[in-house]
Amino acid sequence: MNDLPVLSVTELVTAFREVVETALPPCCVEGEVSNCRRSPAGHYYLTLRDSQAEIGAVIWKSAALRMKFQPQDGMQVLATGALQVYVARGTCQFIISRLMPQGLGELELAFRQLKEKLAAEGLFEAARKRQIPRIPRRIALVTSPTGAAVRDMIQVITRRWPSARIVIVPVRVQGEGAAQDIARALHGVHLIPGVDVVITGRGGGSLEDLWCFNEEIVARAIAACRVPVISAVGHETDVSIADLTADRRALTPSEAGELVVPSAHDLRAALSQLAGRMVQVITGRVERMRLRLQVFESRAVMQRPATLIDERRQRCDDLGERAVRAIRLLVERRHQQLASISASLHALSPLQVLSRGYSVTRRDDDHLVRSIADVAPGDVLVTRVADGTISSTVLSSRTLHGLPSSDQPLNG
């Protein structure tokens, strides 16, 4: 046993790595994904397993960026890569350079995953869709300047609306970097003066050819675009993420040209029809007014307007006479009331009493004499009779019994 070589742990693991990495060339491994997680640096760490064994696996960021879908637990995959020994821990892991889903294409799976993600965020909701302008001032075409799609759109737009103003924003619509080009164009298209609608898209092709319109960066750029966006990607059967996110989807680029502007011919026909209806309405209204005017003119008052004035003048005279009679009757009633009141006052007048033989006596200080107690011998009295006054001096006074009120003689 002492003849066996003595190795350090590092030497042992290094020898293990050389044996493993040289003995087994790169291969494809089929299995199920579990314990999948993404690090902040962008790497994926996961476990590949089957019914009897499992092995740890890594997808470095450089390889992860090339993947169209996101690996998830429970997904059946075909992983291409090679074994690698991590010397620091003495563990063996499978380094994945390419990952393909089993049973469902890579692009189809990526499409479904992104569709579910964006739908959950509400990017496909009809409530956030904007109205396309009826007659846009300027139309921006975010597409390839050399493709057949741009020619079809320009031809349809100018045929339907000859005065349309079009600006082409050239971008790549296929291959690496195409999605970034489209997103940059959509983020800055509002800076073009007068642009109030955008068409982005391309002609038909395979799913790989159209894939840039299924990228998340393009979908978010469409949602963030400051002007309404029409998506026209591929043919009628091709439905992209851009189609679902855009404010309006066109089945083809040619249909996008029909949607973005009205037909000048149809608009002229509609305006002509509207003008005809307006003429009919106005003519009918004028005719009704003319008939009403004829009815007014046929009335007697319109034929002999002086009759109305004479009737009003006679009415005024009648009212005047009635007012005079009413005033006279009121005055007579007031005279009668005044005479009755005057007679009542006359009957109660002191002068009337005096005319019947009565008199009123006052002392010279104007004090009214009502009793013999009010006078004394020597007082000067003024007596008022019906036709004048009498002055006298009190000599004596007697009660109603005829006895003098004072035993002293009165000197007159």
pLDDT (0 to 100) of residue 406: 46
DSSP assignment of 161-181 equals -TT--EEEEE---SSTTHHHH
Specify the pLDDT at position 407: 44
pLDDT at 409: 42
Query: For residue 189, which of 228, 150, 136 has the smallest C-alpha distance?
Result: 228
The domains located in the chain, with CATH, are: 9-103 (2.40.50.140), 112-262 (3.40.50.10550), 357-412 (no CATH)
Q: Please measure the distance between the N-terminal and C-terminal CA atoms of the chain and give it in whole angstroms.
A: 193
The closest of 165, 161, 255, 163 to 201, measured between CA atoms, is 255
Q: Which two tokens stand for residue 172?
A: 């790549």
Q: Which two tokens stand for residue 161?
A: 């609306």
Query: Which residues of the chain carry a pLDDT beneath 70?
Result: 1-2, 103-105, 300-303, 349-357, 400-412
Instruction: Determine the pLDDT at residue 241.
Output: 93
With beta carbons less than 8 A apart as the criterion, state whether 230 and 186 touch. no
| DSSP of 185-239 | HHHHGGGSTTEEEEEEEE----TTTTGGGGSHHHHHHHHH-SS-EEEEESSTT--
How high is the pLDDT of residue 8?
80
Count of C-beta atoms within a 10 Å radius of residue 226:
14
The predicted-structure confidence for 11-56, as pLDDT tens digits, reads as follows 887 877 777 777 778 888 888 888 889 999 989 999 888 878 888 8
pLDDT, tens digit (0-9, with 9 covering 90-100), for 253-268: 999 999 999 998 888 8
Q: What gap in Å lies between CA 47 and CA 42, rounded to an integer? A: 17
| Residue that has been written with the tokens 């696996």 in this structure | 57
